């Protein structure tokens, strides 16, 4: 399990590698639980939370793209101000 401080210091490629490893752990935990009694009953929960932490950091650090929606919002504000 990675802490938030550890995750924020990693770059995007390291985060994607860590994400794939955690998703593989989650898949293994699910199959283990479906087949027989798992060694660690909370391993799926831990893996799910770890995946969520990584995704949160990835979404928080993704590059911002300006889209047409922002420009349309500005145009809408200008037309309302003149009306």
Range of the domain at 74: 4-82
Identify whether the C-beta of residue 45 lies closer than 8 Å to the C-beta of residue 51: no
| Residue 66 φ then ψ, to 5° | -85, 135
Mean pLDDT of 43-55: 90
| Residue 67 φ then ψ, to 5° | -115, 175
What is the pTM assigned to this prediction? 0.64
Quote the CA–CA distance of 81 and 79 in Å, as a whole number: 5
Q: How many domains does the chain have?
A: 1
Q: Write the CATH number for 76.
A: 1.10.287
In sign, the C-alpha dihedral spanning 44, 50, 56, 61 is negative
Please check the confidence at residue 70 and state whether its pLDDT lies above 70.
Answer: no
The band of 66, judged by pLDDT with boundaries at 50, 70 and 90, is low
The band of 5, judged by pLDDT with boundaries at 50, 70 and 90, is low
Residue 22: which residues within 8 A CB-CB, separation 6 or more?
Answer: 47, 50, 51, 54
């Amino acid at each position: 399990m990675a802490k938030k401080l550890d995750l924020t210091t990693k770059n995007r490629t390291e985060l994607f590698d860590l994400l794939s490893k955690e998703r593989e752990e989650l898949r293994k935990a699910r199959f283990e639980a479906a087949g027989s009694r798992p060694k660690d009953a909370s391993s799926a929960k831990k893996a799910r939370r770890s995946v969520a932490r990584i995704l949160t950091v990835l979404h928080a650090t993704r590059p911002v793209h300006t889209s047409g929606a922002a420009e349309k919002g500005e145009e809408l504000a200008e037309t309302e101000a003149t009306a």
